[in-house]
Amino acid sequence: MSDRYQAFTKSPIGKLLVKNLGLPDPVKLDRWTEGAPLVDGTVVVGGNGRLALTESLDGLGIANTTEKADGEKYKGLVFDATGITNSSELGELAKFFTPLMRSLTNCARVVVLGSAPELLKGEKRVAQRALEGFTRSLGKEIGKGSTVQLVYVAPGAETSVDSTLAFLLSPKSAYVSGQVIRIGAKGEKKAVALKDWERPLAGKIAIVTGASRGIGEQIARVLHRDGATILGIDVPQAASELQSVMKELNGDSLTLDITHSDAPQRIAHHVKESHGGVDIVVHNAGITRDKKLANMAQDRWDSVIAVNLTAPELITRALLEAGAINKNGRVVGVASIAGIAGNVGQTNYATSKAGVIGFVDSLADELKDGITINAVAPGFIVTQMTAAVPFATREVGQRLNAMSQGGLPIDVAETIAWYANPASTAVNGNVVRVCGQMMLGA
Ligand SMILES: NC(=O)c1ccc[n+]([C@@H]2O[C@H](COP(=O)([O-])OP(=O)(O)OC[C@H]3O[C@@H](n4cnc5c(N)ncnc54)[C@H](O)[C@@H]3O)[C@@H](O)[C@H]2O)c1
């Protein structure tokens, strides 16, 4: 499942063709490895608003400056745009960013922080909404494996941005770009203070469905790396793969079909009996049964909705009713870019994945005790699921994004680990695409 095109662009003839024909030139993305600093370089801080960004970065151990030095290269740019109150002040963006654009390293990070327009009125609302166009365009033009995001911080959530900055400024967000994230929009505004940023999930119990392979296996590995004890769930046919992954992670396993009528109760009973409760629930298990609607057999439709949407709903409800989700708990859905943009042959799948987004919307206002719900929407992620896609479609699918390459399961897993972080209490109701800023959809 190697990226043959990416390898070709690094060959002498490939380099020549990329240069002369303007072909996509995928950069090898930085990915975080254990023991590495969160940010390997300095971040320039700008803007004038209500956020204490320098304090946050100092607290996270991220080197930062407010002054650009001649000849220096920077790993990131963070701009507090919460002070922009009308459209003529948007010029502050160009004033800060333009002189810095040629001073960035590869895989640099840009984060703009603003105030959610829906909470504002008049010219403030206009100016803050305009930030979306700026960040999405910069994401498409910045190149070199760099990413650009917009974070809207609600009033009262100013001190809750640390876990999000740590994620967005580090290589953990390698394949996340062009996203608009809201902090403090729903539920709690104050984040729980975190002491151990090395092992933020120490002492936590995490359920991961579909944990025997692909993205689910990687989610289990990353949450375990961050300190959690994993309860991996998968179908009986995948029992031996599941057990070998869980043995390696010192975790627990449960083999069942999540669509079975007694699955929600069995899971709730198991976590209560064996672990006293659960802190993180990741609904990763998913299937595709692609056919154009004209040829769709009812069982293909029903099975996709049952696994991808109804099971996460019923399992979450059973866990909540049993009081099995601990305070400051996390529920994470796995949607898909198909659920946002739609896709030929995937009416069933896209319905189920758009439903996952609805599931996040409906529960985000309802959950109590610091429990949050968010979703990831992966784009083209290289796994067994996408290996089944025909070669030509796969090649095109991998290039149609600002990074000109497919993502890896670790990219989805790191995004989920950010949601799972105990300091992400104010990150609630978000759907973040892990798609390298794919050209499809919003
Ligand atoms: N790979 C991609 O590019 C991509 C893109 C968007 C979304 N996703 C989503 O990410 C998730 C993981 O995808 P993947 O590529 O790792 O898929 P995968 O097929 O490699 O793994 C899915 C896992 O879910 C398990 N599973 C399926 N039905 C189950 C059931 N009824 N009960 C229990 N377990 C069940 C499978 O046994 C398997 O281990 C899915 O929800 C998928 O829709 C993947």
Q: What is the pLDDT of residues 167-186, one digit of tens each?
A: 999 999 999 999 999 999 99
CA-nearest residue, atom 1 of ligand 1: 381
CA distance 413 to 434: 10
Instruction: Give yes or no for a contact between 131 and 112, defined as CB atoms under 8 angstroms apart.
Output: yes
Using pLDDT thresholds of 50, 70 and 90, give the confidence band for residue 16: low
Instruction: Note the pLDDT of residue 1.
Output: 47
Catalytic residues: 349
Q: How far, CA to CA in Å, does 8 sit from each of 15, 24, 128, 398, 406?
A: 8, 11, 42, 14, 15
User: 């100092």: which residue's tokens?
Assistant: 58
CA distance 330 to 416: 10
Ligand 1 neighbour 134 (Cβ under 6 A): no
Q: Which of 221, 235, 440 to mutate to test the pocket of ligand 1 (most atoms within 8 A of CB)?
A: 235
DSSP 8-state code for residue 306: I
Question: How close is the Cα of 209 to the center of ligand 1, in Å?
Answer: 9
Question: How close is the Cα of 333 to the center of ligand 1, in Å?
Answer: 12
Query: What is the number of the ligand 1 atom nearest to the C-alpha of 334?
Result: 41
Name the residue type at position 263: A
Edge-to-edge strand list for the sheet holding 43-47? 64-65, 43-47, 74-80, 104-114, 147-153, 179-183
- At 54 the three-state DSSP class reads helix
Instruction: Note the pLDDT of residue 383.
Output: 85
Q: Give the β-pairing of 278-283 and 431-434.
A: unpaired
Is residue 111 left, alpha or beta, with left meaning phi > 0 and alpha meaning psi from -120 to 50?
A: beta
Domain ranges for the chain:
31-183, 205-434
Question: How close is the Cα of 258 to the center of ligand 1, in Å?
Answer: 12
CATH superfamily of 205-434: NAD(P)-binding Rossmann-like Domain (3.40.50.720)
Ligand 1 neighbour 215 (Cβ under 6 A): yes
CA distance 218 to 411: 9
CA distance 220 to 439: 29
Q: Which of 348, 385, 431 to mutate to test the pocket of ligand 1 (most atoms within 8 A of CB)?
A: 385
Using pLDDT thresholds of 50, 70 and 90, give the confidence band for residue 13: confident
Ligand 1 neighbour 235 (Cβ under 6 A): yes
Cβ–Cβ contacts within 10 Å for residue 313, how many? Answer: 18
| The CATH classification of domain 31-183, taken from the options 2.30.30.60, 3.40.190.10, 3.40.50.720, 3.40.50.300 | 3.40.50.720
Instruction: Note the pLDDT of residue 267.
Output: 98
Instruction: Give yes or no for a contact between 180 and 164, defined as CB atoms under 8 angstroms apart.
Output: no
Question: How close is the Cα of 307 to the center of ligand 1, in Å?
Answer: 9
Answer whether 31-183 and 205-434 agree in fold. yes
- At 105 the three-state DSSP class reads strand
Nearest to 334 by CA among 320, 361, 306, 354: 354
Nearest to 366 by CA among 410, 418, 313, 301: 313
Ligand 1 neighbour 380 (Cβ under 6 A): yes
Instruction: Note the pLDDT of residue 266.
Output: 98
The percentage of residues in the chain with a pLDDT greater than 90, rounded to a whole number, is 88
Which ranges of 276-346 does DSSP label H, i.e. alpha helix? Answer: 298-305, 311-321, 338-341
Question: How close is the Cα of 200 to the center of ligand 1, in Å?
Answer: 26
Mean pLDDT of 276-288: 98
Nearest to 278 by CA among 270, 290, 286: 270
CA distance 65 to 391: 46
Could you tell me the pTM of the whole model?
0.96
Q: What is the pLDDT of residues 381-436, one digit of tens each?
A: 988 777 777 787 788 778 889 999 999 999 999 999 999 999 999 999 999 999 99
| pLDDT of 209 strictly over 50 | yes
Q: What is the pLDDT of residues 226-259, one digit of tens each?
A: 999 999 999 999 999 999 999 999 999 999 999 9
| pLDDT of 344 strictly over 60 | yes
